[in-house]
Amino acid sequence: MSKVGKKPIPVPEEVEINIEKGDIIVKGPKGSLSFKARPEIKVDLQQKDGKKQLMLTRKNNSKLVKSLHGLTRTLIANMIDGVINGYNKTLKIVGTGYRVQQQGKTLVFSLGFSHPVKMDSPEGIEFSLKGNNQVTVSGIDKQLVGQTAADMRQLKKPDAYKGKGIRYIDEIVKTKPGKAAKTAAA
């Protein structure tokens, strides 16, 4: 058994789960998410000691099914957590003249290019700004929040020499010494 896959997933009272032919639909206070489980993984909703929990079992022990067992359990657990608490990632824009503005559901970045860069909010994602250099991406789908934040960071990655660009709030960017600093040290 997979160490992760064999652990039961506790289901809080405010979460409703429907399982129909491999489709798992999770509804909670913040919204609804769905997931199509592979046919090799069986998902059961059980009642134990007055509390609901999900148990995942696999139909065979092939290498693929073993790897899918823990993955499926983690994805479902993230869905349950997302409809209760939600997820968010915060990015910081560093650089002189670099800033962001919100126009409806669209963010407009000034990143030193000859034109402003626009980024629309995907369905289920909300942007919030703190000042003009900090953006918080929030939503209930962990994968979508992470992908949107990564796409935003791709607009202008942190520079290795000056440190300018878009970075995660807790990201540490090591700056390299420039050519002049190398020759002066020698």
User: What does pLDDT average to over the chain?
Assistant: 91
All domains of the chain, ordered by start, with CATH? Answer: 9-84 (3.90.930.12), 87-168 (3.90.930.12)
Give buried/exposed letters for 100-127 (b at 16+ CB in 10 A, else e). beeeeeebebbbeeeeeeebebeeebeb
Label residue 6 by pLDDT band (50, 70, 90). Answer: confident
User: What is the structure's pLDDT at 185?
Assistant: 66
d(CA 52, CA 8): 10
The bridge status of strand 23-28 relative to strand 16-20 is antiparallel
pTM of the model: 0.88
DSSP H or E segment with residue 158: none
pLDDT digits (tens, 9 = 90+) for 18-57: 999 889 999 999 999 999 999 999 999 998 888 899 999 9
